Amino acid sequence: MGRIEPLPREDLPQYEPIFQLVEEAMGFVPSSMPTMAKVPALFEAFASFAGTISNMGLIDRGLAQMIANVTSHSAGCRYCQAHTGAHAAAAGVDAEKIAKVWEFESSDLFDDAERAALRVARDAGLAPNLVTDSHFEDLAEHYSEEQIIQIVATIGLFGYLNRWNDTMATTLEEEPTYFASRHLSAAGWEAGKHA
């Protein structure tokens, strides 16, 4: 159970259009959103920020979700690992590839462009100052500056979400729990405090 109880959705009719968009994209409304909605300015800023990054369209959605997954894994956020694993699958990434995303450096399932992006996600997720000029040189071999901006924006967004959801012990919803328990448990995933 989360440390702060989310508001009931029916108490937030002003945000129903946002919730419907999120529900269409994800299949559910994350528990974190009605908790943030207790402070309307925070919720509105977050919804706008997250929507902008998610809909930039400069990199493949599946890659964006794998970047978010590796960032979340580095930070230790089980909640966001479950979400991003499920979303990567919904974006067309094979479940085996998602399960092996932490093996991106050595697995034949990943190409050099993916490795460059996931390497930055891993290291920035651990500590942003681990990212070096060499990381950006590798990115520049495969991505435009605008694409690199979306990669880093995705890492930054999940840096916030990892800290929010782990600190709040946000309760994990049924859909991502099911996906993660089936496809991520071999990589050490467990719901932990988010159950």
Phi, psi (rounded to 5 degrees) for 31: -60, -25
Give the distance from CA 23 to its chain's centroid. 16
- Of 30, 86, 80, 90, the C-alpha closest to 60 is 90
Q: What is the pLDDT of residues 34-76, one digit of tens each?
A: 999 999 999 999 999 999 999 999 999 999 999 999 999 999 9
Contact predicate 58/150, CB 8 Å? yes
CA 38 to CA 70: how far, in whole Å? 29
The answer to whether the predicted template modeling score (pTM) of the entire model surpasses 0.85 is yes
- Output the six-digit token pair for 137: 């040189």
CATH architecture of 61-194: Up-down Bundle (1.20)
In angstroms, rounded to a whole number, what is the distance separating the alpha carbons of residues 100 and 187?
8
Query: What's the confidence (pLDDT) of residue 184?
Result: 87
DSSP code string of 89-130? HHTT--HHHHHTGGGTTT-TTS-HHHHHHHHHHHHHHH-GGG
The per-residue pLDDT for 189 is: 86
| pLDDT (tens digit per residue) in 140-194 | 999 999 999 999 999 999 999 999 999 999 999 999 999 999 988 877 888 898 9
Question: Which pair of structure tokens corresponds to residue 56?
Answer: 């930039």
Look up residue 124 and give its two tokens. Answer: 């920035």
Return the structure tokens found at 132.
């070096």
What is the pLDDT at residue 84? Answer: 96
AA letter at 50:
A
Degrees, nearest 5: CA angle 39-70-105: 165
Q: What confidence score (pLDDT) does residue 144 get?
A: 98
What DSSP designation does 87 have?
Answer: H
DSSP secondary structure string for all residues of 2-34: -SSPPPPGGG-GGGHHHHHHHHHHHSS--THHH
DSSP code for 55: T
